[in-house]
Amino acid sequence: MNPDALSEALLAVITPLAEARRAGSTGGLTAADLVLDRPKNRDHGDWASNAALKLGKAVGANPREFAAEIAEALAATPGIANVEVAGPGFINIRLDAAAAGALARTIVEAGAAFGTNDSQRGNTINVEFVSANPTGPLHIGHTRWAALGDSIARLLAASGATVAREFYINDAGAQMERFGRSVVAAMHGEPTPDDGYGGSYIQALASRVIAERPGIVSLDRDEQTRIATDLAYGFQLGELQASLVAFRVNFDVWFSERTLHAAGADGTPSLVDEAVERLRAQGHVFDEGDAVWVRTTDFGDDKDRVIRRSNGEYTYFAADAAYYLNKGDRGFAHKIYLLGADHHGYVHRLKALAGAAGDDPEKDIEVLIGQLVSINGARLSKRAGNIIEMDDLREWLGTDALRYSLARYPADSPLTLDPELLRKRTNDNPVFYVQYAHARTHNVARNAAASGVDRSAFAPELLDHETESALLGALQEFPRIVGFAAEVREPHRVARYLEELAGLYHRWYDSCRVIPLGDGPIEAVHRTRLWLNDATGQVLRNGLDLLGVDAPKRM
C-alpha cells in the first residue's frame, strides 16, 4: 500500500464519520488534503496523520476522541496491521508486511517511470537559465545555474509538466560591440581595448576568424569589426553549447536577443515595437519628457521604467518586455527565470512586467535568485584570466561530483565546495556514498545470479525485518519527494532523500542476505529480497537521473 492509497483509505473512513456528526462536515476534503508523515521513531509505525487534529473542531469533536474513531475504522482496512492514537490526536499507522513489501515488485515493474507523478500535469512551463553573454567562457556561477536549472526542469517533467529549457543569448548591445573590437585588436596584435575582453581565448578566436576569412585584415576596419563580431560570436556560442552538453545540460531553445529587435522583411514592426504597443493597449504605458514609460509601480516595482528613451532608443527593459510577451505567445503560461545574485533587482521588475502584460505576477512568473558559489583552491582560467571556467571545473572534479554537489543545496544559499572531499572515494563524499549504494545493488544482483538466486518467487510478507520495513518506507516516499521538489523548485530535496535511502540500504545489506549462507538452500525469502534489492537500485537510479548524475554499475 503506497501513501496515495493510504490517503484514499483514510478519506474513506473519515468522510462517513464526519457526516454522522451533525455539528460539522469535512467541507469537500480530498485525499490530497490528508498529509501523511513518516515518523522519525519507527516504533511509532510506518505513517502518521494529524487529520483528527485538523478536523476535530470542524466536525464538533474532541480531536483525540475523533482520532480513536478513525483508528478503529481504519484498522479494518486490508493491508493495515494496526492503528494507534498518540498524544492529543495523532494517528499512527502500521502496515502489514505483505502490503508494505508489495511495493518492491511495483517499483521493479515500473522501472524508470517509478517516481513520476501528475502533480504538475497541465502546466506548460518555460525554464530560462544560464543565459550567459556569448562573449566568453562559462564560469563557476553559470555552472551552478546550469545544474540547478536542468534539475528543476527534470523534476517538473517527471511531475507531468510540459517543459522547455531555454537559453537567452545576449547577442545585442554594447557588450557585443566591445567583444568584436577586442577580437579585431587581437587580430592586429594590438592591446586589448580599455573596455574590451582580455584573455587568451580572445586571441584564439582571432586566429579562427583569420583562418575562416584569410583576407579580413585588409578590409576597412568597420567591415573587419562587423565580420569578426559575427564569426567570433558563432565560434564562442558553439563553445558554450559544447560546454553545456558535456555537463549534461541540453537546451530546447536558444533564443537570440537580436530577433527581438529585427523588423520583418515586409516592414512589419519588431517584437520590441510590438511589445510597447501591446503594453500600451493594456493601459500601463505613458509618455513623459519625450520618453515612453511603463507604470510598473502599479504592480509593486520601486519605480516606473523607461521603455524607450527620449532619443528613440529602446532600453534593456524593452527587450525584457518583448521577450516575456514572446514566451507567452509561444504557449508558455508559466515562466521561470533563474538568475544570478547580481540580478536581485530584476525580481520586482519582471513581476511588474508580468502584471503590466495582463498576467498574474504571483502565478505566471517566478524569479529564482541563485547565490554565489566558490570552490576552495580553484585556479582562475588560464584562457580567460579572471574567472573559474566550467570546463576546468568539470575536468578537475568530474561532472557527477559537480552536478550532485551543486544540486544538493538550495539555490538561495551561498556555497563553498571542498574539492578534496568531492574527489574522495569514501562515504564522507555524498555523491560517492549514493553512487556506491547503487553500484552495490548491481553487485548483489550479479552475485545472486551467479548463485542461482532469481526473482522467480515473490512473497512480500517475508520482508518483515526492521531494516526492510525502514527501507520500504523510504522507497514509498520517492514519488512524493519528486512531486514536492518540483512544486517548490528545490532539487536538493531529492539529493538529501537519496542519501537517506543509501544509508537505509547499506544497513539492510548488513542485516539481510540475498544469497544463502554456505550450502544453504535458496528459499523464497532470498528471491523476495532480490526484488527489494533491485527496487532500491531502481529508485537510486531514478533519483540520480533527476539530478543529471550517472548511476554506475561498478565502482
Band of the pLDDT at 34, cuts 50, 70, 90? confident
CATH class, domain 425-546, is mainly alpha
d(CA 516, CA 507) in angstroms, rounded, equals 18
pLDDT above 90 for 163: yes
CA distances from 131 to 28, 138, 173, 346 (A): 44, 10, 15, 14
pTM: 0.91
Amino acid type, 554: R
The answer to whether 527 touches 454, Cβ cutoff 8 Å, is: yes
Phi, psi of 326 (to 5 degrees): -65, -35
Mean pLDDT of 92-117: 94
- Check residues 539 and 61 and name the one with the higher pLDDT: 539
Q: Which residues contact 401 (CB under 8 A, 6 or more apart)?
A: 422, 423, 429, 431
Mean pLDDT of 313-326: 95
DSSP 8-state code for residue 116: B
pLDDT value, residue 56: 84
Q: What angle do CA 35, 40, 45 make, to 5 degrees?
A: 70
- Of the options 3.30.365.10, 3.30.565.10, 3.30.1360.70, 3.90.550.10, the CATH number for the domain spanning 3-95: 3.30.1360.70
pLDDT one-digit tens code per residue, 192-207: 999 999 999 999 999 9
d(CA 340, CA 240) in angstroms, rounded, equals 17
pLDDT above 60 for 24: no
CA distances from 449 to 212, 442, 453, 456, 523 (A): 58, 11, 5, 12, 14
DSSP 8-state code for residue 297: G
Percent of the chain with pLDDT over 90: 82
pLDDT one-digit tens code per residue, 255-270: 999 999 999 888 899 9
Strand bridging mode 305-308 / 291-294: antiparallel
pLDDT value, residue 96: 87
Domain ranges of the chain: 3-95, 174-246, 425-546
Band of the pLDDT at 445, cuts 50, 70, 90? very high
